[in-house]
Each structure stands twice: as structure tokens, then as C-alpha cells.
Amino acid sequence: MTETFAADSMLVRENLIDISFQKRYLHLVYFWMFTGLLVSGSTAYLVYRSPLISGLILDSFLVFFGLLIAELILVSRISSNIDILTPLQARTMYLIYTFMTGLTLSVIFFVYTESSIYSLFGISSLTFGIMSVYGYTTNTDLSGIGNLLMTFVIGLIIALAGNLFLQSSGLDLIISIIGVLVFSGLTAYDTQKLKRLSQGDLEVLKELGFSSKKDNNKESDKKTADAKQEGKQKIDTEPEKTNSSELVAAGSAAHKEAIIGALILYLDFVNLFLYILRAMGENNDND
């Protein structure tokens, strides 16, 4: 009877640790996502207010597209190397990426009015929030639409490139509406995926590039198995020792995984905002 009660107590503590880790992980994801948006937004506005810097970036084809290429390389490096980066390196690269994105995003202040940018940013935030809550709370498995939505993303890129030559306002509106729908769906899908990750779904880890975690998982599984065996033998004397070490390891791993999660949601939000801006933004008539 005593052993059964002690075993149940250990199970309750493990569940509490799991819940604590889930909350901490998701808090870190949204903290870094909002931090990235703050860095990008502040940078874009400061560039807009500085004629010298804005002229250097926006008046030079090579500088502007050089920054775009550098952003693509950096985000690719973060995604492909996240498994071998330290938490500090991952955070630093993420913040550099959001800063560089802010440099190129400053162009929207010269294309659209400030009032429309601020109001549509609010609409984008509301849309993102609704879709993120839906992705977190729904019982519907959204994994089936992930590949379909990514196919649409590729189609959007091709359509945007083609419309650079066609210059069709009607096609641009259609592309923008589809873009809003696609990145709204991706917001829900990615939120659900990150929720699954917070619950220990290792398949999500593989999707995010944590391939070499297999060895770590084997070691962790071995430690867990040894801890459980030890817990059975010493259940009355040392019921909490293994849980604390698992929690420390989980907290350490959460930092890097939170950065890649924040990057995913950051990209969803920025693209959602840009497509809403393309569809509904009021053009700035000032040079």
C-alpha cells in the first residue's frame, strides 16, 4: 500500500514537471517571437526616420538585395544548424536575423502610409492571435494541411515573381488574399506543432532539424530507465532525485527549441502582416 502511494506520488510529480516544462517552453517561444518583432519594428522605424541610413539601404539595389540574400542565408543556417548551436549562439543569430529583417522592412514606410501600417499591424496581430489560439485549443489534427500550405507558399513565391513582369493589380490582390489565408493556416498549424513539441513529440524535433538528438535521447532514455529502476528500489528514501535532473535537462534543451519555435511563428506573423498590407494598405503618395 505504501509503495503504491509513493509510486502515485512520483507520477503526480512527473506530470507536474511535464506541465511546467510545457508552459515554460511556450512562454519562451512567444517571448522570443515578440522580442524579434520588437527588434524588427524598431529597426524599420529608425531606418525610416534616418535619411542617411534609408538612402544607403533603399537607394542601392546591391545593398538592399544583398541584405535579402544575407537574411535567407542566416535563416537557413539557423534552421539547419540548430542542433549543434549553443543556446547563446541560437539567440544571437535569431536577433541578428530580426535586425536585418527590420532593415529591409523599412521599405514599407515609404510605400504605405503610417496610419495604414499601424492599423493593419493591429489587424494582423488579432488575426495571428485568433489562429494561434485555435491551433493550440483545437482537437482537429492539422498536420495533414501542413504540406499543402507549404505547396501554396511555393506557389505564392512563383506568382509574385511572375507578377513583377506582368504588373497586374488584380493578380496582386488575388495573391495577397491567398497569402493571408495561407499564413493564417500556417499560424494555426505551427502553433499546434509547437504544442506537440512541448508535450514531448520527438517527430516534431526531427522536423525542426534536431537530428543528432537521437544519441541524446538514447542517453536520456537510459538515465530515465535507470532512475525508474532505482526509484522502485529506493522509493521510500529518494523519490525526487531523478526528477530534478530531468527538469534541469529539459529546461536547458528548451532554450534552443524555443528559438526555432519563435523563428517559425515570427516568419508566420511577418508574412501574414505583409500580405494583409499588400491587400489593404493605403499607398503613400509622398516620395
* Residues 14-64: tens digit of each pLDDT: 444 455 666 788 899 999 999 999 999 999 999 999 999 999 998 888 999
pTM: 0.79
Checking if the pLDDT of 5 tops 80, the result is: no
Q: How many other CB atoms are found less than 10 A from the CB of residue 64?
A: 16
DSSP code string of 191-212: HHHHHHHHTT-HHHHHHTT-TT
Contacts of 94 (CB under 8 A, 6+ apart): 32, 36, 78, 259, 262, 263
Checking if the pLDDT of 227 tops 90, the result is: no
Q: How many other CB atoms are found less than 10 A from the CB of residue 44?
A: 21
DSSP label of 40? H
Percent of the chain whose pLDDT exceeds 70: 75
User: What is the residue extent of each domain of the chain?
Assistant: 2-280
> Mean per-residue pLDDT for 136-141?
92
Residue 242 is predicted with a pLDDT of 38
Handedness of CA 20, 268, 270, 132 (dihedral sign): negative
Question: What is the C-alpha separation between 42 and 119, in angstroms, rounded?
Answer: 16
- Position with higher pLDDT, 48 vs 147: 48
The number of residues in the chain equals 287
Q: Which amino acid, one-letter code, is at 181?
A: L
> Mean per-residue pLDDT for 89-103?
95
- Would you place residue 136 in the very low, low, confident or very high pLDDT band (cuts 50, 70, 90)? very high
Burial-class residue 30 by CB neighbours within 10 Å (0-12, 13-18, 19+).
middle
Residue 205 is predicted with a pLDDT of 72
**Coil vs helix vs strand at 58:** helix
**Coil vs helix vs strand at 283:** strand
CA distances from 245 to 17, 60, 85, 105, 234 (A): 11, 53, 22, 43, 17
> 79: which 3 cell numbers?
534552421
* Residues 255-268: tens digit of each pLDDT: 678 899 999 999 99
CA distances from 131 to 35, 181, 269 (A): 20, 11, 11
Residue 18 is predicted with a pLDDT of 53
